[in-house]
């Protein structure tokens, strides 16, 4: 008798996104009219680890067939050669088979999560900046799910897409945000129309979002730091700190309003260099910030902190060297 080899075809989905990873094997054969209902079929699957699994003989009408997919020790697809044999039985034909062999060297990139934060507006978002492109594979679909815990409110927001705002009830809050990303990515192997890999990638990152402090509060912080016990620096470094903070305080007290923002950022940078925790979360709404103080003329001051170096109007002061 003749066989059905010429008609056989099937597709392979290797799905890592399920709680138990699976092969999902779908018969895509174009059988002669009237015989499909009487066909029985099964698969023999060999993974790179050398273990062979044979599925139960079942009617084609009950396909797709699902079989367990074994991952490697890094919880990724096994690298190496795969062999899948599709065996078809029909009483009017000899046993038929189709063999599909392919090799994988699938190495996903590390998940990257970043934040876009503009606290003076305020505005804040979490963004998936992962590069999902891989050599020899084409990305056909990406589905993302975000879960973000707002610690100070003891609540969670969620969303989908490459970027979501960290907003709850229309507001941003002075709080820690803990973002968890779950992404499923479908890859097709370039030049191979049969195979789809569904990868699962997870990511986690924290953000401490603070409400900017007003200039008066920053001035008080400057004054309190000037009166604080030794920071462990040399006498020369302490003198440099005193000079730097006094100068910045003078800028603020002189009403250089349109330079408040630069002074604000520089003060924060100086505190970071000192490794001083200058703020704690209060769970309150972050409102739009105003640097306006009622004066007008613009005066140019150059502020810059580069590693441990403070530059004011071109004068260099070594900080905490």
Residue-wise pLDDT for 71-120, tens only, equals 999 999 999 999 999 999 999 999 999 999 999 999 999 999 999 988 77
Q: How far apart are CA 255 and CA 249, in angstroms?
A: 10
Specify the DSSP class assigned to residue 50: S
Q: What ranges in 152-287 are assigned the alpha helix state H?
A: 215-226, 235-253, 260-273
Q: Please, are residues 200 and 16 in contact by the beta-carbon 8 Å criterion? A: yes
Instruction: Measure the CA angle with vertex 130, ends 129 and 135; round to 5°.
Output: 140
Q: Is the pLDDT of residue 321 over 80?
A: no
Who's near 172: CB < 8 A, 6+ residues apart? 122, 123, 124, 166, 209, 285, 286
pLDDT of 238 reads 52
Give the pLDDT confidence score for residue 280 in this predicted structure: 75
* Domain 5-104 homologous superfamily, CATH: Macroglobulin (MG2) domain (2.60.40.1930)
Residues 6 or more apart in contact with residue 316 via CB below 8 angstroms: 309, 310
Q: Note the pLDDT of residue 270.
A: 60
How is 143-182 classified by DSSP, letter by letter? EEEEEEEEGGGTEEEEEESSEEE--BTTB-BSEEEEEEEE
For the chain, give every domain's residue range: 5-104, 113-209, 215-318
Contact residues for 170 (Cβ-Cβ < 8 A; gap 6+): none
Give the pLDDT of residue 121: 82
* Sequence-separated contacts (24+) of 119-123 with Cβ below 8 Å: 119/209, 119/210, 119/211, 119/212, 119/286, 119/289, 120/212, 120/261, 120/288, 120/289, 121/288, 121/289, 122/172, 122/211, 122/286, 122/287, 122/288, 122/289, 123/165, 123/172
Biggest CA-to-CA distance, the chain: 101
- Predicted local confidence at residue 107, as pLDDT: 94
48-62, 66-80, 108-122, 268-282: least confidently modelled range = 268-282
Average pLDDT on 187-195 reads 92
pLDDT on residue 225: 52
- Asked if residue 147 lies in contact with residue 120, where contact means CB atoms within 8 angstroms, the answer is no
Is beta strand 10-15 parallel, antiparallel or unpaired with respect to 195-209?
parallel
Task: Identify the burial level of 5 via C-beta atoms within 10 angstroms of its C-beta, where 0-12 means exposed, 13-18 middle and 19 or more buried.
Answer: middle
Peptide bond into 64 cis (omega under 30): yes
**Rounded-to-integer distance, Cα 145 and Cα 292, Å:** 40
- Judged against a pLDDT cut of 60, whether residue 263 lies above it is answered with no
The dihedral built from the CA positions of residue 151, 157, 159 and 162, taken in this order, carries a sign that is negative
pLDDT of residue 288: 83
pLDDT of 224 strictly over 70 = no
């Amino acid at each position: 008798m003749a066989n059905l080899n010429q008609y056989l075809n099937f597709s392979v989905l290797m799905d890592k996104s399920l709680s138990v990873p699976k092969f999902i094997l779908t018969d895509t054969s174009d059988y002669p009219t009237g015989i499909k209902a009487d066909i029985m079929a099964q698969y023999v699957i060999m993974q790179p680890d050398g273990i062979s699994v044979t599925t139960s003989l079942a009617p084609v009408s009950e396909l797709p067939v699902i079989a367990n997919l074994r991952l490697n020790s890094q919880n990724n697809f096994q690298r190496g050669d795969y062999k899948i044999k599709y065996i078809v039985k029909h009483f009017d034909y000899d046993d038929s088979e189709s063999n599909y062999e392919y090799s994988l060297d699938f190495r996903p990139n590390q998940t990257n999560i970043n934040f876009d934060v503009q606290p003076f507006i305020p505005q804040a978002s979490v963004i998936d900046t992962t590069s999902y492109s891989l050599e020899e594979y084409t990305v056909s679909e990406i589905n993302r799910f975000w879960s973000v815990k707002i610690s100070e409110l003891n609540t969670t927001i969620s969303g989908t897409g490459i970027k979501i705002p960290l907003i709850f009830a229309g507001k941003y809050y002075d709080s820690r945000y803990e973002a968890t990303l779950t992404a499923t990515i479908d890859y097709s192997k370039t030049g191979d129309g049969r195979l789809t890999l569904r990868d699962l990638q997870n990511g986690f990152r924290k953000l401490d979002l603070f409400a900017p402090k007003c200039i008066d509060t920053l001035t008080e912080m400057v004054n309190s730091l000037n009166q604080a016990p030794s920071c462990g620096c040399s006498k020369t470094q302490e003198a440099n700190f005193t000079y730097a903070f006094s100068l910045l305080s003078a800028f603020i007290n002189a009403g250089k309003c349109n330079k408040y923002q630069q002074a604000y950022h520089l003060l924060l940078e100086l505190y970071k260099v000192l490794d001083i925790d200058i703020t704690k979360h209060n769970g309150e709404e972050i409102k739009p910030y105003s640097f306006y103080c009622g004066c007008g003329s613009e005066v140019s001051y150059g502020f810059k902190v580069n590693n441990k170096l403070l530059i004011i109007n071109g004068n260099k002061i070594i900080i905490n060297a």
